[in-house]
Amino acid sequence: MRTVLRFLFVIPIGYVAACLTAAFAMLWPFLELDGAAALDPVMFVHTSFYFAAQAAQIGGVAILPWAAFMIVTELFGISSVLVHAIAGFLGGLAIIFLAYGPDMVPTSVETAILVAATTFGLVYWIVAGRGAGSWRRRSPSPAAEGQAQ
């Protein structure tokens, strides 16, 4: 039952949380909210719409590569925070090279993409990646069997 719950709820919730956090990390540097603009309800609706659209865009772009990464980490039980952070960072680099090609990318946009991608990997690890492969039954090692006797 734990395995079913992990694959039906924990992993998808981790993916959605990672998309939302990456959208926040992507948009936050570009928001210019001073005192009056922060309280404006129209600005709040616009910002909420941009946030939802950015999260949907990130989720749509990342679903296939991240699904392959999730399958590999679950099958091999790779639950390292460093592996997830590096995977997110490399995904961000791939997005920059695929989206912009040889053109010059503004440094602020490049930084926002890399921070958002790394944040994506870290948040996924916090929610679901720490338990990668925990659903598999592990047979005790021969050394552990010898100590138990």
HEC states along the chain?
A: CHHHHHHHHHHHHHHHHHHHHHHHHHHHHHCCCCHHHHHCHHHHHHHHHHHHHHHHHHHHHHHHHHHHHHHHHHHHCCCCHHHHHHHHHHHHHHHHHHHHCCCCCCHHHHHHHHHHHHHHHHHHHHHCHHHCCCCCCCCCCHHHHHHHC
CA dist., res. 33 & res. 84, Å (int): 32
Interval 46-69 mean pLDDT: 86
CA dist., res. 67 & res. 77, Å (int): 15
Expressed as residue numbers, the domain containing 48 is 2-136
CA dist., res. 138 & res. 134, Å (int): 9
Evaluate if residue 21 carries a pLDDT over 60.
yes
Evaluate if residue 16 carries a pLDDT over 70.
yes
87 occurs within a structural domain: yes
Written as six digits, the tokens of 126 are 């916090």
Q: What is the pLDDT of residue 135?
A: 61
104 occurs within a structural domain: yes
Q: What is the pLDDT of residue 110?
A: 86
Q: pTM of the entire structure? A: 0.75
pLDDT tier for residue 124 given thresholds of 50, 70 and 90: confident
146 occurs within a structural domain: no
48 occurs within a structural domain: yes
Interval 96-101 mean pLDDT: 84
Backbone φ and ψ of 47, nearest 5°: -65, -40
CA dist., res. 18 & res. 25, Å (int): 10
Interval 4-29 mean pLDDT: 82
pLDDT tier for residue 46 given thresholds of 50, 70 and 90: confident
111 occurs within a structural domain: yes
Least Cα distance to 32 among 52, 53, 46 occurs for 46
Least Cα distance to 116 among 18, 8, 4 occurs for 18
Interval 64-71 mean pLDDT: 86
98 occurs within a structural domain: yes
Evaluate if residue 141 carries a pLDDT over 70.
no
Q: Number of folded domains in the chain?
A: 1
Q: What is the pLDDT of residue 113?
A: 87
45 occurs within a structural domain: yes
pLDDT tier for residue 90 given thresholds of 50, 70 and 90: very high
Q: What is the pLDDT of residue 118?
A: 92
pLDDT-above-90 percentage for the chain: 7
**Mean of the per-residue pLDDT values of the chain:** 80
108 occurs within a structural domain: yes
